[in-house]
């Protein structure tokens, strides 16, 4: 099992930069990477008016398996509705565009797919009435988000955004400036990631991941009302926990529970299952990856790599 965790954590050295690819999909057409440009005065660049998704592809047996492709595009369009962006493409059309793009690039290795819907160039009015709405999909080789098998994290001084400010349930481009503040502070202070608290001081999530706490063999995770994104990896882990007879409780989580947890791990499309071994320099449990985390990480790895569908074969899309 340690091998699988290390594969997810990126023990093998990889470049952190995005590797340019041959083609991207934008506004209904596959075009070259070099030609896929946008005007410098695009509204989304200045005001963050866009929504996006992250989708993972896993290379296996001369094929590429996409995990929860349909669900990601459903959430993308839900985010667009929350931001009041009118996308002219349906979930199915976007799924087919994604497959067309990957095949055009002949991708068969582990990759990351970034669909984005954003307000284009017209003017500087914040309301963007009658401004063009662009849709694009980019796919590129990608191994892992974190570069180590166990993370040292801190609790951030920055508060997670919440509904009266901007809705955290939508993957809005501008929302992530909130996460950027927390992530950069954490990195500058020698941490791998930050845990953000919500407006009432309860645990929310990481800067780009949901969080699970293991206590007495049970999983505890902040509820949807805790200013979190309803993560698809989070949802997958809750499902896999049921299959593995592990009880899951969704509720408010106090900061102090992070210091007394037996295990902690983060979940996200880019991150996969990322074990946390310390919080604010305090070791989590014995300071090593725990058995519940290992068990669920193995189940997740088996699922996304096609080794076992755990009753959800509809979550896996074969590209070729």
Task: Supply the residues annotated as catalytic.
Answer: 171
Distance CA 299, CA 317 (A): 18
Rounded Cα–Cα distance for residues 171 and 157 (Å): 22
Beta partners for residue 267, in sequence order: 210, 273
CA distances to 44, 68, 99, 124, 173 from 47, rounded to whole Å, are 5, 30, 30, 9, 9
Residue closest to 6 by CA, chosen among 285, 274, 302, 284: 274
- Strand, helix or coil at 235? helix
- DSSP H or E segment with residue 212: strand 210-215
Q: Distance between CA 12 and CA 5 in Å, rounded?
A: 12
Residue 8 φ/ψ, nearest 5 degrees? -65, -35
d(C-alpha 163, C-alpha 167), whole Å: 4
Whole-number Å distance between alpha carbons of 104 and 148:
32
**Which residues contact residue 29 at a Cβ distance below 8 angstroms, ignoring those fewer than 6 apart?**
none
Quick one: DSSP state of residue 18? P
- CA Rg value for the chain: 19
Rounded-to-10 torsion of CA 170, 201, 192, 12: -50
* d(C-alpha 100, C-alpha 81), whole Å: 25
CA-CA distance, 29 to 20, in Å (whole number)? 18
């Amino acid at each position: 099992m340690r091998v699988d965790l290390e594969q997810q954590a990126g023990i093998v050295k990889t470049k952190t930069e995005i590797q340019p690819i041959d083609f991207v999909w934008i506004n209904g057409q596959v075009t070259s990477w070099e030609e896929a440009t946008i005007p410098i005065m695009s509204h989304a660049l200045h005001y963050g008016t866009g929504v996006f998704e992250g989708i993972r592809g896993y290379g296996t047996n001369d094929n590429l398996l996409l995990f929860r492709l349909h669900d990601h595009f459903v959430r993308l369009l839900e985010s667009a509705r929350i931001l009041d962006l009118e996308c002219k493409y349906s979930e199915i059309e976007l799924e087919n565009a994604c497959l067309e793009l990957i095949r055009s690039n002949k991708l068969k290795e582990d990759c990351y797919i970034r669909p984005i819907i954003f307000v284009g160039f017209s003017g500087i009015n914040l309301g963007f009435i009658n401004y063009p709405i662009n849709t694009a999909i980019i796919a590129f080789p990608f191994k892992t988000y974190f570069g180590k098998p166990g993370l040292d994290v801190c609790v951030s001084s920055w508060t997670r955004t919440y509904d009266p400010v901007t809705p955290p349930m939508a993957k809005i481009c501008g929302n992530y400036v909130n996460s950027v503040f927390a992530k950069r502070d954490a990195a500058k202070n020698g941490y791998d990631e930050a845990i953000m608290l919500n407006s009432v001081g309860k645990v929310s999530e990481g800067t780009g991941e949901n969080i699970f706490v293991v206590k007495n063999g049970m999983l505890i995770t902040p509820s949807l009302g805790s200013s979190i994104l309803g993560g698809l990896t989070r949802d997958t882990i809750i499902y896999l926990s049921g299959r593995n007879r592990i009880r899951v409780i969704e509720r408010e989580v106090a900061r102090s529970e992070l210091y007394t947890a037996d295990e902690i791990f983060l979940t996200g499309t880019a991150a996969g299952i990322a074990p946390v071994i310390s919080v604010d320099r305090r070791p989590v449990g014995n300071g090593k990856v725990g058995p519940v985390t290992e068990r669920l990480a193995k189940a997740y790895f088996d699922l996304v790599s096609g080794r076992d569908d755990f009753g959800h074969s509809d979550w896996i899309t074969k590209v070729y």
